């Protein structure tokens, strides 16, 4: 399809909670398996294994009294400010999340009104033509928000969109499940605007939903504690199945997006992949390169922040993008006009997507 406009990122923002939770925080935890049996091994053995597989050494938690919509609002304000726009001029506010606002020490989701409506309210936007809605698409939600915003802009339905990913996963985890150590809180956002320069912005994308046997690889289930309340549900996952699924399907989706853009791996400067599991992400990239018969991966191709921030689901890619572009948290971006980057994600659904973007 020949398009006259492309969606260009003109501003980014993020909110990284100040509460740092190191692996040492879990030293006194009693971890159980799905049958309620105690997981063998010392705290150090469990922690070392987690770090070896996921790369996670620390994660961030939101303070009590701050909800996912609050994190989203902070990130949104930054993005709007860096774009230099009047928030009243926004046509859409799209908020990707999975669990809504969850008050600390509860596991009940609050999504009425929508988080996007709450963000619009917090930003004091009065324009009724600024449409605010939530997007539930698992961890790939923020990337899917980019794809939706690009569709609105490309079809002429919008000139400016705000896309946010926000989550407080620390409040929906089972303290007896080792996977608790993976999840984190955070929010990231970007402003996309219509541009007549069709050489810039979002060039192509791909999306998939695998809902056969894969549909419940991520799900809500009861605590592993035998005496727990069966009516309370926590986030659970079949880690090995997700790992194998991602390695099988994500590289092909990434290549499909590049094919649609008329580009190859040789045109890509950096890959921003969902920060879920360092070992899994590294293997995805290796398999992606093999699709082009390539074995050598540039050392700076894939920026990572999972070591310090953990897995914040929909927030991992937008927070990483903001850090790289702002050159904060140890990143020193060398991205310049004309550089091509690739976004890619996988998560509950099971959903996959990828976006090709040129600066």
Clarify whether 274 is annotated catalytic.
yes
Q: How far apart are CA 150 and CA 193, in angstroms?
A: 9
Which of the residues 139, 161, 277, 353 is marked catalytic? 139
Q: How far apart are CA 248 and CA 326, in angstroms?
A: 33
**Radius of gyration for the chain, computed over Cα atoms and rounded to the nearest angstrom:** 20
168 φ/ψ angles, rounded to the nearest 5 degrees: -125, 70
CA distances (Å), origin 42, targets 39, 54, 177, 258: 9, 18, 15, 45
Clarify whether 139 is annotated catalytic.
yes
Q: How many CB atoms lie within 10 A of CB 337?
A: 8
Residue 241: which residues within 8 A CB-CB, separation 6 or more?
A: 214, 217
CA distances (Å), origin 353, targets 198, 205, 220, 226: 22, 7, 23, 38
SS3 state at 162: strand
Clarify whether 130 is annotated catalytic.
no
Tracing tokens 């894969």 back to the chain, one arrives at 214
Sheet arrangement for strand 268-273:
201-209, 351-358, 340-347, 268-273
Which of the residues 98, 311, 351, 353 is marked catalytic? 311
Which of the residues 6, 274, 277, 353 is marked catalytic? 274
Cβ–Cβ under 8 Å, residues 176 and 32: yes
Q: How far apart are CA 40 and CA 38, in angstroms?
A: 6
Active site residues: 139, 274, 311
């Amino acid at each position: 399809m020949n398009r006259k406009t492309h969606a260009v990122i003109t501003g980014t923002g993020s909110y990284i909670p100040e509460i740092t939770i190191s692996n040492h925080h879990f030293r006194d935890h009693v971890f159980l398996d799905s049958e309620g049996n105690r997981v063998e091994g010392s705290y150090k053995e469990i922690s070392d294994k987690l770090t070896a597989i996921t790369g996670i050494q620390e994660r961030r938690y939101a303070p009590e009294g701050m909800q996912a919509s609050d994190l989203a609002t902070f990130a949104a304000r930054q993005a709007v400010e860096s774009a230099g726009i009047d928030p009243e001029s926004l046509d859409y506010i799209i908020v990707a999340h999975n669990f809504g606002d969850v008050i600390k020490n509860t596991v009940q989701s609050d999504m009425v009104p929508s988080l996007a409506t709450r963000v619009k309210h917090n930003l004091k936007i009065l324009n009724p033509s600024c449409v605010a809605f939530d997007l539930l698409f698992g961890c790939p939600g923020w990337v899917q928000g980019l794809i939706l915003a690009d569709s609105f802009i490309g079809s002429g339905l919008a000139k400016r969109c705000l896309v946010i990913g926000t989550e407080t996963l620390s409040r929906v985890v089972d303290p007896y499940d080792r996977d608790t150590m993976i999840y984190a809180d955070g929010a990231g956002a970007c402003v996309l605007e219509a541009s007549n320069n069709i050489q810039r912005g979002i060039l192509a994308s791909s999306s998939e939903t695998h809902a056969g046997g894969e549909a419940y690889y991520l799900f809500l289930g009861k605590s592993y504690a035998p005496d727990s309340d069966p009516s309370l549900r926590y986030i659970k996952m079949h880690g090995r199945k997700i790992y194998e699924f991602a390695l099988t399907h994500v590289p092909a989706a990434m290549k499909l997006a590049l094919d649609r853009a008329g580009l190859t791996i040789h045109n890509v400067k950096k890959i921003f992949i969902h920060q879920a599991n360092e070992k899994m992400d590294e293997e995805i990239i290796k398999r992606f390169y093999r699709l082009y018969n390539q074995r050598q991966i540039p050392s700076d191709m894939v920026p990572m922040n999972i070591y310090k921030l953990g897995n914040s689901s929909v927030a991992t890619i937008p927070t990483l993008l903001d850090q790289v572009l702002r050159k904060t948290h140890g990143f020193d971006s060398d991205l310049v006009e004309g550089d091509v980057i690739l976004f890619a994600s996988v998560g509950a659904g099971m959903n996959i997507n990828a976006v090709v973007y040129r600066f």
